[in-house]
Structure formats: structure tokens, C-alpha cells
């Protein structure tokens, strides 16, 4: 972008000068002219262009110089003076080309007016970098106007052409690779591309196997001209190389590495091997499909690498077959021999190449580490900041902020999330899933784990066009089956890692259950190790699961599918089995889950030790909460036994209860019926559970106790006052008196023409639409609409027309028998919804994504209506059945 901008400025300045000259001289391109005749810089608004160039350079960290806002203003002022001075030099154009851009730039600085402000060292360096660039393009513009280049200037003209192309190429790389792509998100409608500028978090890395010595990856790169970067699937290897490419292209790499000022060539290994012979330097651009390949000067890349100015970034040795890896290694060694002074970075998953694979070639090694808790939270914040760039309105950005805060709370509260978010790939998956679900992650962990497994076991490779580099093709189902066998074996044997030979034996046994195919167990083992993203080598021949929760889930799937349900009950007291038992109940079919839950309750009844009894009951209660479907009879029995454990009586009761999670809060009694000590232990339990629900519980609990202390409580603990939400729906924007104005501005329409006539009426705050209206589109053009009633429409099937009603807070829909899609409510800010008659459970499920919904009134719901499934679907919504208590 900067190259095109500078080129355009130079063109305007030269055209303005030539047009001002005598027509005869302007047409004679062969006649040398002075710069003062060729550049009319006063005609190009030099102050504005200078400000623009400095602003963009500072914003993008170009040239590696950091300056304050005040210093940037000073650089802008001096650059303006320099551009104007350039147009006054009496240097002949041929002499200017001969001296080159740096010397011309120096002449301009020497000719600056004496009152030019002084700059700091950083400001001076930025000024010189920008002025050098401008002078380069001035010289290129001069050469282009010549009909023939003088023989003595041909080498210099060719050098200038190479330098200009280099700037164009740098500009292209900085734009093309400045993004972080998300793969395998089958639940994301529009996969996002996030910029490195806003979303990149450099991973921690371990240098040369120096265990415990973690540093930021860019710091680890300092001084290393040859480096092999190892990292598991999703650890950020490709993103690290993209960051290196963008930073090098912007000349901002030298402050953090030893590469100096190189030109980057990012070469995915899976791409370059497709072309038969591996490329030489002058084929780098064409083999990766660069749009600039045909415009490169002859031998341009060769000259760069020969001068030591190249940075070859070779991404994904593991993404090609082992035989191809050997060929790539020989090719790389030939490059190193021919161009020893350039720099090289290679990436691979740990198991794909042996330790010291490039040691003889002088490569150091860097291992990327998992994210810690602080980095997980930083990544979430960066992701949402980057996502906010694409949001056009302050309203949308505010909602993203809500999503971010909610996700951070969930991370702090849910240990399973922290366990999954150990690398950028999984962090990005969960951020995207959280956003797509309008601020909510699935209430069932198994849905989250299934999405993660689907991404890792094939979808990500398919989307990146990686075709079975180990020569093994396994479906996602086959991989789940085989990895489940490994996970089950490790769980059953109490192992966190295993020898490769042991896993080969496990796989050999598992493969007998699959249809025969050409690969043997060793090839399958290598494929799973290199491509699944779930296994990694911790040492020579030792293997572990990357994500413990996913190992537990795979083991749970395998146990259920094998029918070993009694094994779950028999081992439920063992902490090593706890998560597997819970996940197995969640994954199992209803009758299987019932069997396990009843088995846990029976074991708890027979337990001699009180601690074991408590542990088994709470595991059953937690497992039941994970079920998508739970037998009502079993649910009642489990909740009855769990309720016997509350309120906590002793401090040692708190931690086991907190481990059960949010479900235990529903069983806590009303504060009127607990002692001071019990109340304190209940609050402590909620604090340990953490998260939005627990924090809301604490606030409500303390408020209720304060009201009790004043003897003025009218709070019903079984039904929070939904009328408060009704009132808040009118006044949530803080505009005093607007509720009264809304009441005075109520209207009713019964036909399409009547509704169409209201479009644009800002005074309409309440509206009732009765009868068979077919076009509700005009509702989007009622900017003050806050309360809407739709009644008696036999043809209404959906509510899509509400998507533009940004101030709508109260919605009532009645007597619309064909309404079968409520999902559009999720695109509004409706906080109070009233539906009559009672919709089906499937239709109500469409409200799961309604972020702002706080109360749902079902006037026709009788006492026989089971609210529990709906409350699980809408955990943050107060469900009010029957006649409204505020009427």
C-alpha cells in the first residue's frame, strides 16, 4: 500500500512539472532536466502526504522505529520540508540516478532550511527510512520517462528496478500474511481472518531443550540465523512464521532478532513439493503462486540470497511424506551451501523428524510451549479486539466486549476450558464458538469436545489441502476409534504416558476391528502421532496425549461403546477416573446413563466412609448435569441425595461441593433458613465455583440477607421478580421519563398499508400488530420502538423482520399458530418475551442464542408443564409460567 502511495505521489509531482514546461521540452524525454524542473512538490499537498506516510509507518511498526506522538508530529514536519526541498534541488536527473536513493536523500537533508526542528535518534532514523523510500521512487519515475537508458547508467537503473520491486514485494508480503486464519470450525458460519497486528500473541518457547527456561519466541530467535522450530498441532508454528515474514517485510524484525534487514520468502513445504523439482531462489515466487512472480527482475531472489539478505521460512516439514522429507532436507542443504549467509527457519511437529535432524547444518532448535493461564486470557482479549475491528457500530463492539468478559469468566470458572486452551488453535476455536453462540459456550462439554476433535482429526488438514503425508488415510471415525483404544488403555493402566512399543501393541489389537487396509500398525501409529494433534512425544519413544480432557473423553466414548459401564461405577472413587465417569454419562444413551447413575447412588449408599459417600453422590450429580437427556426419576433421586449434602456444615465440605459446579447452587436453601456460619460457607462455595452464575448467586444471596435483616423482604426465592425486568426493559438506557413517553406513544395497526405508513415515525414506542399482516419489514424503520405485540396472525412463521429493531426490549406474540422459528430473537436486544399459546419445546430451543433475554413469560403453561428442560436450555432466563404475577 505504501509503495503504491509513494508511486502515485511521484507521478503527480512529475506530471505537474512536465505540464508546466514548454511543450517541446515536455515531449522530449531524452533531454536531461534538473530535479527542480521535474518535481513540483508544492502541487501534491506535501504536508498531507507526509502526515499520512508517517502515521502509517508508526501504526504498523515499519522500519523498526518506535516514536511518540509528539515525535511523530516532528517527523511529519521535517518530512514535509524534505519533500519540498527535494523539488528545489538543481541536480540533473542523470546525476541523481547515478548517485542513488541514499545519496540523494542525504543531499536533501543537507539542504533542509536551518530552522528545521531537531529529531531524536529514533525520529531521525524513521525520517531517513521514509525519505530513502521516496527518493528511490523518484529515481524510478525519472528512469521510466527516458526513451533509452544511457549505457553508463544501465547497472544503476537495473539496481533501482530491483530495489523498487523489493519494496513492492515487501508491501505485498506485509499485507498478504498479516492474518491469522481459523480452520476446521464447522460451527462457524463465516470463518474469520484476524490480523497479526491485533491478534498475535508470541508463544513461549524453550531453547535447545533447556527445560524450564521459557522465553517469548521472538526473543529466542535473537542471533539465530538457522533454526528448527518444533511445536505440536495448533501451537502456532505457521503463525510464528507469518509474523516473521510480516515483521521482516516491514523492516521491523531487527530489534528482536539477529536477521538484520532481510527479505522474507515463506514457503509451505506441502506446496513446493507439488512441483516436481524443488525450486531454486528465482522460482520461489512462482511455486507459491505469488501474483508478483512475473514482474520480478531477472535473478532478483538469487542476488538477495547471495548477498545474505534472504530469510527463507520453510513451514511444515511434517506435512509431507517421510520420503519427501529426506528430499526436502537434501534440497535445503544445497541451498545452505549455495547461499550460506542468508537466514533460514524451518518448522515441524516434534515427532516428524528426529532430534538433531538439522544439527549438522548448523541449526539450533526451539520448542514452542503450551499457553499458561495468563497467556490464555491475553489471547482471548486479543482475539476479541481483532474481531472488533470488523464491527461497524459501537453497539456491536459493546456486545463483543460482553462476549469477551463472559468468556474470561468461564475460563476462570471452568477447569475443563483451561485444560483445552493450551495452544492458540484451541483458544481460537473456543473464542469463535463462544462468539457464534452469541456469547454462550455449549452447556454440554461433550459438544465442545466433539467440535475440537472434529477440527483436529482431519477437517483442518482437508481445509489446508494436506493429503495423507504418511501414506495413511483414516476417516475421522476411524481415528476416534483408534485413539479411543489408546486413551482407554492408558486410563485403565493409570498411565499419563506410554512407550511407543506399548501403543503399537494397542493399535495392532484395535486395527483388527476395522476393515483391512494397506497400512500396518506402525504406519498408523506414525500417522496419529504426526497428524492427529492429540499425541506428542515427550522423550525418545515416550508418548502422551496433548490434551488430558480430550483423552478422558475419548476413553469415555470407548468404554461406553464397549459396554464396560460397570467399570465406570467400580472406579468412580478414583480421582483419575472422575472426569471419565462424568463424560461417559454425558456421552451415553439415556438408558446407559441411567444405569451408571443408579450404580453410583447404590455405591454411595453402601459406602462406609462419609467422604466416599459424598464424593460418589456429587459425581452422580455432576454427571447428571452433563446429560442432554436425563430420566426424570433418576434426576429426582440424584437431586434428593445431593440436597442432603447442603448447606455445608464444615469448611472441609466446601471444596467437594464446589467441584460439583453450578448445579449445587440450585440446591442451596433460602437464606432465611440457614445460620450465619452456613451462609458464610455457602458464599465461599459459590466463590470457589466462580463464573457469572456463581457471582450472580452471591449478589442475590447477600441482597436477600440484607432484606431479611431489615425485615422487609418480599423476595420469593423460587421466582425472582420478573416484573423488575419488565420495568428495566423501558429504562435500561438511562433516559428518565422515557417509559412514560412510550406509554403515551402506543399505537395499533391491522394491515400492511397501516404499518407501512408508520415507517420512520420516531415517536412510536409501543406498537400492537393485529391480524394477517404479511410484511413486518417497516418495523425496522421505527427507531424508537421498545414494546411490540404481535397477535392473531394465522400466517406468521418467523420473526426475521425484528433483526433491525435495536431498541426493542419487550416482545409479546400470541395466537400465531404457524410460528415455528424463534431464532431471530437472538439477533435483537429483547429482554422480556411473552408467548401464548405454549410453543413446543423444539421451538423454544431457538431462543438459546438470545444473549439479552432475561425473562420468558408463558401465560398458558400449567402446573403439569415441565420447566426443567427449558431452564437448562436457557440458564440465564427466568421462566414465568401461568398468569403474570405483576398484572
In this predicted structure, what is the pLDDT of residue 662? Answer: 76
- Angstrom distance (rounded) from CA 737 to CA 731: 8
Instruction: Strand 497-499: give its sheet, edge to edge.
Output: 497-499, 542-545, 535-539
Residue 731: what pLDDT? Answer: 31
- Averages of pLDDT over each 10 residues, the chain, 887 residues: 68 68 51 74 77 80 70 87 84 86 88 84 85 86 81 87 89 85 40 64 71 65 80 80 89 58 89 83 90 90 91 87 84 94 88 78 83 84 75 72 86 71 76 69 72 68 53 79 92 80 87 77 82 71 77 93 92 84 92 93 91 90 82 82 84 80 79 78 80 77 79 37 33 33 61 85 78 90 82 90 78 90 82 84 79 81 75 81 60
Gap between the Cα atoms of 513 and 52, Å rounded: 66
- Position 222 scores a pLDDT of 65
Q: Name, in order, each residue with C-beta under 8 angstroms of 597's C-beta and a sequence gap of 6 or more.
A: 585, 620, 623, 624, 630, 634, 638
| Residue-level pLDDT at 555 | 95
Strand partners, 537: 543
Q: Which three cell numbers stand for residue 719?
A: 421466582
Beta carbons of 338 and 281 less than 8 angstroms apart: no
Q: Are 491 and 580 in contact (CB under 8 A)?
A: yes
pLDDT of residue 137: 84
Quote helix, strand, coil % in the chain, to nearest 5. Answer: 55, 10, 35
Q: Would you give the DSSP letter of residue 792?
A: -
| 183 within 8 A of 459, measured Cβ to Cβ | yes
What pLDDT, on the 0 to 100 scale, is given for residue 435? Answer: 75
Per-residue model confidence as pLDDT tens digits over 444-490? 678 778 877 876 776 545 544 555 555 677 788 888 899 999 999 98
What is the pLDDT at residue 154?
A: 87
d(CA 426, CA 457): 13
Whether residue 281 contacts residue 300, with contact meaning beta carbons closer than 8 Å, is answered with no
Write down the residue that cell numbers 483442518 correspond to.
460
Q: What's this model's pTM, rounded to 2 decimal places?
A: 0.54
Give the bridge partners for 69, in sequence order. Answer: none
CA distance linking residue 157 with residue 118, whole number of Å? 34
What integer pLDDT is reported at residue 16 of this predicted model? 67
Q: Are strands 810-814 and 535-539 parallel, antiparallel or unpaired?
A: unpaired
Q: Is the peptide bond before 649 cis (omega within 30 degrees of 0)?
A: no
Given this model, what pLDDT does residue 263 score? 92
**What confidence tens digit (pLDDT) does each residue in 132-170 have?**
888 888 888 888 877 788 888 888 888 888 888 988 899
Q: Which residue spans within 162-302 are E strands per DSSP?
A: 180-181, 193-194, 204-207, 214-216, 226-230, 263-268
Name residues whose C-beta falls within 8 Å of residue 46's C-beta, 6 or more positions apart in sequence.
80, 83, 84
> CA-CA distance, 726 to 728, in Å (whole number)?
5
* Distance separating alpha carbons of residues 18 and 13, to the nearest angstrom: 9
Instruction: Name residues whose C-beta falls within 8 Å of residue 601's C-beta, 6 or more positions apart in sequence.
Output: 616, 617, 620, 637, 638, 641
**End-to-end distance of the chain based on CA atoms, in angstroms?**
63
**837 upstream amide cis, omega within 30 of 0:** yes
Cell 401465560 sits on residue? 859
Distance between CA atoms of residues 817 and 839, nearest Å: 9
Q: What is the pLDDT of residue 499?
A: 83
Q: Which residue matches cell numbers 506485509?
A: 174
Q: Cell 540533473 belongs to which residue?
A: 92
CB 184 within 8 A of CB 455: yes
Q: How far is the C-alpha of 241 from the C-alpha of 245, rounded, in Å?
A: 6
Amino acid at each position: 500500500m505504501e509503495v503504491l502511495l509513494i508511486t502515485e505521489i511521484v507521478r503527480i509531482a512529475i506530471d505537474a512539472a512536465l505540464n508546466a514546461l514548454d511543450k517541446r521540452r515536455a515531449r522530449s524525454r531524452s533531454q536531461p532536466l534538473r530535479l527542480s524542473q521535474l518535481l513540483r512538490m508544492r502541487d501534491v499537498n506535501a504536508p498531507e502526504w507526509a502526515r499520512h506516510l508517517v502515521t502509517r509507518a508508526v501504526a504498523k511498526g515499519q522500519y523498526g522505529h518506535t516514536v511518540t506522538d509528539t515525535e511523530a508530529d516532528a517527523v511529519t514536519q521535517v518530512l514535509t520540508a524534505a519533500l519540498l526541498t527535494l523539488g528545489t534541488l538543481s541536480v540533473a536527473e542523470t546525476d541523481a540516478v547515478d548517485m542513488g536513493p541514499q545519496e540523494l536523500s542525504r543531499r536533501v537533508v543537507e539542504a533542509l532550511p536551518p530552522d528545521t526542528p531537531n529529531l531524536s535518534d529514533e525520529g531521525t532514523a524513521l525520517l531517513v527510512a521514509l525519505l530513502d523510500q521516496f527518493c528511490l521512487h523518484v529515481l524510478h519515475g525519472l528512469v521510466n520517462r527516458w526513451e533509452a537508458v544511457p549505457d553508463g547508467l544501465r547497472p544503476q537503473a537495473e539496481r533501482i528496478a530491483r530495489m523498487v520491486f523489493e519494496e513492492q514485494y515487501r508491501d505485498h508480503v506485509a499485507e498478504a500474511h498479516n492474518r491469522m486464519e481459523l480452520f476446521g470450525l464447522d460451527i462457524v458460519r463465516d470463518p474469520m481472518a484476524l490480523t497479526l497486528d491485533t491478534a498475535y500473541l508470541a508463544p513461549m518457547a524453550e531453547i535447545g531443550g533447556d527445560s524450564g527456561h521459557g522465553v517469548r519466541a521472538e526473543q529466542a530467535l535473537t542471533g539465530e540465523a538457522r533454526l528448527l522450530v518444533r511445536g505440536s498441532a495448533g501451537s502456532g508454528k505457521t503463525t510464528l512464521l507469518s509474523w516473521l515474514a510480516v515483521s521482516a517485510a516491514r523492516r521491523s524484525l531487527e530489534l528482536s532478532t539477529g536477521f538484520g534487514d532481510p527479505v522474507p520468502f515463506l514457503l509451505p513445504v506441502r506446496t513446493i513439493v507439488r512441483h516436481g523439482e524443488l525450486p531454486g531462489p528465482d522460482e520461489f515466487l512462482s511455486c507459491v503462486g505469488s501474483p508478483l512472480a512475473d514482474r520480478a527482475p531477472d535473478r532478483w531472489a538469487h542476488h538477495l540470497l547471495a548477498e545474505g539478505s534472504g530469510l527463507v521460512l520453510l513451514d511444515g516439514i511434517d506435512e509431507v511424506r517421510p520420503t519427501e522429507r529426506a528430499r526436502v532436507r537434501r534440497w535445503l542443504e544445497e541451498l545452505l551451501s549455495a547461499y550460506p549467509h542468508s537466514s533460514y527457519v524451518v518448522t515441524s511437529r516434534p515427532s516428524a523428524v528426529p532430534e538433531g535432524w538439522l544439527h549438522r547444518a548448523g541449526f539450533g532448535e526451539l520448542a514452542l510451549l503450551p499457553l499458561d493461564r495468563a497467556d490464555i486470557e491475553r489471547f482471548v482479549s486479543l482475539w476479541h479486539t481483532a474481531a472488533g475491528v470488523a464491527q461497524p457500530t459501537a453497539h456491536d463492539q459493546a456486545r463483543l466486549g460482553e462476549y469477551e468478559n463472559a468468556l474470561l469468566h468461564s475460563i476462570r470458572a471452568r477447569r475443563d476450558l483451561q485444560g483445552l486452551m493450551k495452544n492458540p488453535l484451541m483458544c481460537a476455536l473456543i473464542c469463535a464458538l463462544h462468539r457464534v453462540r452469541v456469547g454462550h459456550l455449549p452447556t454440554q462439554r461433550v459438544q465442545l469436545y466433539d467440535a475440537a476433535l472434529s477440527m483436529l482429526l482431519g477437517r483442518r488438514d482437508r481445509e489446508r489441502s494436506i493429503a495423507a503425508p504418511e501414506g495413511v488415510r483414516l476417516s475421522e471415525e476411524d481415528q476416534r476409534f483408534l485413539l479411543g483404544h489408546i486413551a482407554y488403555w492408558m486410563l485403565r493402566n493409570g498411565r499419563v504416558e506410554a512407550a511407543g512399543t506399548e501403543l503399537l501393541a494397542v493399535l495392532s489389537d484395535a486395527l483388527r476391528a476395522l476393515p483391512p487396509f494397506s497400512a500396518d500398525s506402525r504406519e498408523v501409529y506414525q500417522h496419529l502421532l504426526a497428524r492427529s494433534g492429540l499425541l506428542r512425544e515427550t522423550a525418545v519413544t515416550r508418548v502422551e496425549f496433548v490434551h488430558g480432557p480430550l483423552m478422558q473423553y475419548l476413553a469415555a466414548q470407548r468404554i461406553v461403546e464397549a459396554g464396560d459401564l460397570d467399570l465406570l461405577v467400580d472406579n468412580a472413587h478414583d480421582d483419575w477416573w472422575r472426569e471419565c465417569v462424568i463424560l461417559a454419562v454425558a456421552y451415553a444413551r439415556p438408558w446407559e446413563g441411567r444405569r451408571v447413575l443408579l450404580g453410583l447412588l447404590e455405591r454411595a449408599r453402601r459406602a462406609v466412609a462419609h467422604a466416599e459417600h459424598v464424593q460418589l453422590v456429587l459425581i452422580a450429580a455432576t454427571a447428571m448435569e452433563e446429560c442432554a437427556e436425563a430420566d426424570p426419576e433418576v434426576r429426582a433421586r440424584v437431586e434428593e441425595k445431593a440436597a442432603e449434602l447442603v448447606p455445608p456444615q464444615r469448611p472441609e465440605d466446601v471444596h467437594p461441593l464446589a467441584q460439583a459446579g453450578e448445579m449445587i447452587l440450585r440446591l442451596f436453601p433460602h437464606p432465611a433458613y440457614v445460620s450465619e456460619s452456613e451462609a458464610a460457607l455457602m458464599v465461599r462455595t459459590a466463590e470457589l465455583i466462580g463464573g457469572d452464575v456463581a457471582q450472580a448467586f452471591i449478589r442475590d444471596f447477600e441482597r436477600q440477607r440484607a432484606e431479611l435483616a431489615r425485615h422487609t423482604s418480599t423476595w420469593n426465592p423460587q421466582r425472582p421478580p420478573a416484573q423488575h425486568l419488565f420495568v428495566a426493559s423501558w429504562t435500561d438506557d438511562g433516559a428518565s421519563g422515557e417509559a412514560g413517553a412510550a406509554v403515551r406513544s402506543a399505537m395499533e395497526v391491522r394491515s400492511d398499508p397501516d404499518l407501512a405508513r408508520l415507517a420512520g415515525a420516531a415517536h412510536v414506542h409501543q406498537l400492537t400488530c393485529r391480524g394477517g399482516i404479511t410484511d413486518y419489514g417497516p418495523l425496522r424503520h421505527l427507531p424508537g420502538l421498545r414494546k411490540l405485540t404481535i397477535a392473531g396472525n394465522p400466517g406468521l412463521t418467523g420473526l426475521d423482520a425484528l433483526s433491525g429493531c435495536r431498541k426493542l426490549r419487550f416482545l409479546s406474540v400470541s395466537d400465531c399458530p404457524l410460528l415455528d422459528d424463534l431464532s431471530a430473537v437472538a439477533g435483537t436486544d429483547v429482554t422480556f418475551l411473552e408467548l401464548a399459546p405454549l410453543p413446543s419445546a423444539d421451538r423454544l430451543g431457538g431462543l438459546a442464542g438470545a444473549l439479552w433475554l432475561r425473562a420468558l413469560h408463558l401465560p398458558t403453561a400449567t402446573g403439569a408443564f415441565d420447566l426443567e428442560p427449558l431452564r437448562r436450555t436457557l440458564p440465564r432466563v427466568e421462566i414465568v409460567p401461568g398468569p403474570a404475577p405483576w398484572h
